[in-house]
């Protein structure tokens, strides 16, 4: 069964550009053990300081992250986790629930995408070893 990508959005109100960063959205594409998740970034669809939407294209079941950094007081920073539902809405969940969702569904999708890329590998190191050592995979994902 193939699923098509859906436009997932999160709305943000106007903000002070000196205090807050541009809002952001991302989709988790890989989450190795003992590493931070690798993500694909979406877009904020308006100018600095304006209200607008962040958007990303994802499949139902994908883990979505979104937020906005407060440059002066980190206690007001927004950093959320969610799971894209079949109806296109994002259900907010805890980081622990997001990890459980990755273990149940995301890992299978990631492995299938690697198998589909065998003819044109994006990361030859990953495909060559099939399951590389944790240290090697983490070094590929982290700058």
**10 Å Cβ neighbour count for 22?**
17
123 within a domain of the structure (yes/no): yes
pLDDT confidence of residue 74: 84
75 within a domain of the structure (yes/no): yes
pLDDT confidence of residue 95: 93
Residue span of the structural domain in which 27 resides: 6-141
pLDDT confidence of residue 131: 42
Q: Mean pLDDT over all residues of the chain?
A: 81
114 within a domain of the structure (yes/no): yes
49 within a domain of the structure (yes/no): yes
**Nearest of 24, 16, 36, 20 to residue 138 by alpha carbon:** 36
CA distance linking residue 48 with residue 33, whole number of Å:
36
48 within a domain of the structure (yes/no): yes
14 within a domain of the structure (yes/no): yes
Predicted confidence (pLDDT) at residue 43 exceeds the cutoff of 60: yes
What's the domain count of the chain? 1
1 within a domain of the structure (yes/no): no
Predicted confidence (pLDDT) at residue 122 exceeds the cutoff of 80: no
pLDDT confidence of residue 103: 86
Whole-structure pTM value: 0.72
pLDDT confidence of residue 102: 87
12 within a domain of the structure (yes/no): yes
């Amino acid at each position: 069964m193939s699923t098509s990508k859906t436009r997932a959005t999160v709305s943000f109100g106007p903000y002070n550009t000196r205090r807050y960063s541009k809002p952001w959205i991302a989709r988790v594409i890989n989450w190795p053990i003992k590493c931070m998740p690798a993500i694909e970034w979406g877009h904020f669809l308006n100018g600095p300081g304006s209200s607008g939407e962040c958007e990303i294209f994802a499949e139902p079941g994908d883990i979505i992250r979104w937020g906005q950094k407060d440059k002066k007081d980190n206690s007001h920073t927004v950093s959320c986790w969610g799971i894209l539902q079949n109806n296109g809405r994002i259900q907010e969940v805890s980081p622990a629930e997001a990890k459980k969702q990755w273990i149940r569904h995301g890992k299978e999708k990631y492995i299938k995408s690697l198998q589909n890329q065998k003819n044109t590998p994006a990361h030859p190191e990953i495909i060559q070893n099939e399951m590389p050592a944790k240290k090697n995979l983490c070094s590929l994902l982290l700058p």
